[in-house]
Amino acid sequence: MLAKPEWCGHQAATARGFPFMITRFILLIVSAALLWVGSARAQTGAFDLAGPQLRATVTRGTETLPIGRVPQLQAGDRIHVEAELPADRSGKHLLVIAFLRDAASPPPKKWFERLTLTSKARALTATVPEGAKQAIVLLAPEVGGGFGAIVSAVRGRPGVFVRAARDLGQASLDRARLETFLDGVNAADVSSPQSVETISPILARSLAIRLSAECLQREPALQAACLTQSREALILNDGRKPTLAETLTGAPVDLAYRVSATPEAGAGYYSPYIGVVRDVARLLGAFGSAEYQYIPALALGRNEGLRLLLNTAPSFRKPHSVMVVPLPPVEPPEPPAFRPAAGQAITCLNRPNLTLPIEGAPILYATDFAHDLHLDVRTAAGETLRFPLRADPRQGGLVLAGTAAPPLGHQIVQARVLGRWGFEPLEGPVFHVQSMPGAAWRVTDGASPVVGRANQVALEGGTSACVEEVSYAQAGSSPVAAQWKATGPGSLAIALSLEKGRPGPIELRVKRYGSDAQRLSVTAFTEASRIERFVIHAGDRSGVLKGTRLDQVESLDWQDQLFRPGTLSRVRDIDELTLDRDPAGAAAQPGAAAASGKVRLKDGRIVPARVEVLKARPSAILAGKTIELGTSAGALTMQHVGDQALAENAVLTFSIKAQADTRFTGGEVIEVAAANLAPATLKPGAGVTLVDATTLVARFKAETLGPAAYGPLRYRVLQDGVAGEWQPLVTLVRLPVLQGLACVGDEPTCTISGSELYLIHSVSADAGFSAAALVPPGYTGTSLPIARPQGGALFLRMRDAPDISFRVAMPS
């Protein structure tokens, strides 16, 4: 028995009445109560006891929503709470709605609304006050002075109840995720070998739950039981933001959830409950008195109902239990930032039970916070189509409902997920969609599959996202499923395995969702295995094998050197297979053409191959170059010191020196090219001059490459049709037209005028570009403000060569 506290005999304290004594008593027994609650939790740590039922709605303005659709409250919201207690209950009960501010600010007394529940008085309405951040419901048996004691307790330690409201609110959301997972597992068909094993990972991804892999390795009939019984099977971690407990402790705290088997009527059923890895005393502190003991409750909202779950059996004797029930927090709306799980993949609106896969929003599945979801589709014609959606964790996304989509053809249309998040509009991610029917599929030109090998046939014209399956069949044979992939919104690539096929017609069957298969015909041809020759240049380490059916080649043995297959291509109905020499082998030498090689096929056969060794490729290096500047179209002339930049109106003269065994004869051709453009050809007497057997001089006008050329140029030498290696030459730079440079008085800035100023990358008053001014990309103006040039010159760098400087002399 507790010793009699000193304050019990104090006359002043006694005169203040019973509520005051209750409050003082609460504050004095905190330490003892902490020990008591810790002991109680050791016995009843899980929220597995069903509490009373509440019904609640929230009204904002003129709109009323059930509590299950309200993720956050706002000041001015009207909360209507109704207790569904048994009609034959004995004794009175007290229903209190309290609003909290923060841990350091006791809420005003007017922030507490009370109702003594009777058969006629069952509902309480309260308005969220300005400045409130949390809301809770307190439910307790009515005893004399009890309301005052509860108010004093909350006001005396507001931080305890703020933490309790936040943690219990988050735990309630986590519990909702767990129950959604378990409902999905329990609804699976355990008689199907793949049912639980298939649906469990999808549910886990949707609800951000980590599964026990051991459960999925058991027999199908035992998988559901394992997932719902194992203490370590399910751990939630949505990764969205840290809980309050994590912030307080400085380390992540996983919420581990368990399911226990409870016998009922001779059978077992699985009753989920939460084992929160936090001490209940951390949530509520250790409030206790002769009258009241506070116990936490989880609140699971669906529609207007609030289902309460307790981790401690409530007491209806002294000390009476006060159930602390969290309500949605008072904070700005924070819709989930979910995103498409398939990235930019195209989806067919005509697909039965279409699911738009999403990720990053487990709360979307576990609650009704997101409602009135729909897919807003805007067609190219400007029409808006709307399809209702529902979140289904078993499908891993948003399931489309409603009527079939109208035809959109193979054109890709953007569709956005819209809806409501509580009272606020919800704008979700964008999906790329198609719908059929589009045009009929057709085989592209040049499709000639060959028997005895794998082939690929290309189709075009239809809606690729709406293809359900593809098969093919030859005469007298059953259809075979074909591997296929969409190569574009209106194109397909179909793989035909004809290793055991025969020549003749092949029927392709392309089935679209909700329609019959379209049938197309292609012809398979026979191609004999044939090795023509192996061609290699002297000095090279790789050559080209020519023939047919070269996909069967395993290696080539020539001059005791082994060549391995590289790239296989087809040129004018002939296979060309690049063969690379073993790195340890010697380079090919001229005069070895008479020798023959041996080609080993993958089936083990050896086929002779004629080897042709061509002359070595011409080898030359750049010996020198000179640039002749063209006439400037503007009043100001730009000069570049050096030979690294070639203006578009300039002329380049360069010389090349033969290397190794290369000797020039005067018939050489030099090609000059910019990236991704056709080369310009310089021929003898028309740009190329032979100086001697080791030197060529070429003269090249930059304008020869056309207006689209810019950037690094390269050259190569062709001798008797044999091309040498590409080598760097010079950088082609497009220049603006500068008309004038104007400076007023001693102003620190001047103005440069002209046209095509968008070609300038940066401008500087000094050659070191210490304070360069960047020109915006795509600049279309005819003048630029610049710093006053120093030393009578201005310096520019161009976009085509931002590391090369040009000097512009100031007009005298």
Q: What pLDDT was estimated at residue 189?
A: 62
Q: How far, in Å, CA of 677 to CA of 706, rounded? A: 10
Q: How confident is the model at residue 559 (pLDDT cuts 50, 70, 90)?
A: confident
The single-letter DSSP state of residue 466 is G
Q: Map residue 265 onto helix, strand or coil.
A: coil
Sheet strands side by side (includes 409-421): 339-340, 355-359, 397-400, 384-392, 370-378, 409-421, 424-435, 346-348
Q: What pLDDT was estimated at residue 775?
A: 92
- Range picked from 85-89, 153-157, 713-717 for highest mean pLDDT: 713-717
Residues 634-645: pLDDT tens digits? 678 888 867 889
Q: What number of CA atoms fall less than 13 Å from residue 254's CA on the CB side?
A: 13
Of 22 and 117, the one with more pLDDT: 117
Residue with the two structure tokens 């070895």: 592
Of 780 and 587, the one with more pLDDT: 780
- One DSSP character per residue, 111-151 reads GEEEEEE-SS--EEEEEPPTT--EEEEEEEE--TTHHHHHH
Average pLDDT over residues 231-253: 37
Q: What pLDDT was estimated at residue 348?
A: 86
Residues 755-767: pLDDT tens digits? 999 999 999 988 8
What DSSP element (H or E) covers 730? strand 727-733
pLDDT at residue 431 is higher than 70: yes
Joined tokens for residue 58: 């929230």
Amino acid in the structure at residue 25: F
The single-letter DSSP state of residue 440 is P
Strand partners for 188: none
Average pLDDT over residues 528-549: 85
pLDDT at residue 256 is higher than 50: no
Burial of 297 (0-12, 13-18, 19+ CB in 10 A): buried
**Phi-psi region for residue 677, left (φ > 0), alpha (ψ -120 to 50) or beta?**
beta
Residues 163-185: pLDDT tens digits? 889 988 988 888 888 888 888 87
Strand partners for 105: 102
Joined tokens for residue 28: 């004095």
Q: What pLDDT was estimated at residue 287?
A: 52
With both helix axes pointing from N to C terminus, report the angle between 158-187 and 195-207 in degrees, rounded to the nearest 10.
Answer: 150
Backbone φ, ψ for residue 81 (5° rounding): -120, 130
Query: How many residues are present in the chain?
Result: 812
Strand partners for 388: 374
Neighbours of 324 (CB within 10 A): 25
pLDDT at residue 195 is higher than 90: no
Residues 271-310: pLDDT tens digits? 232 333 244 434 454 555 556 788 889 999 888 889 998 8
Residues 692-711: pLDDT tens digits? 999 999 999 988 998 889 99
Amino acid in the structure at residue 367: T
Lowest mean pLDDT among 155-159, 205-209, 267-271, 354-358: 267-271
Q: What number of CA atoms fall less than 13 Å from residue 768's CA on the CB side?
A: 3
- Range picked from 103-112, 400-409, 530-539, 564-573 for highest mean pLDDT: 103-112
pTM of the entire structure? 0.56
Q: Alpha helices of 142-219 — where are they, by DSSP H?
A: 146-156, 158-187, 195-207, 213-216
Q: How far, in Å, CA of 99 to CA of 81, rounded? A: 14
Average pLDDT over residues 576-592: 70
Of 666 and 231, the one with more pLDDT: 666
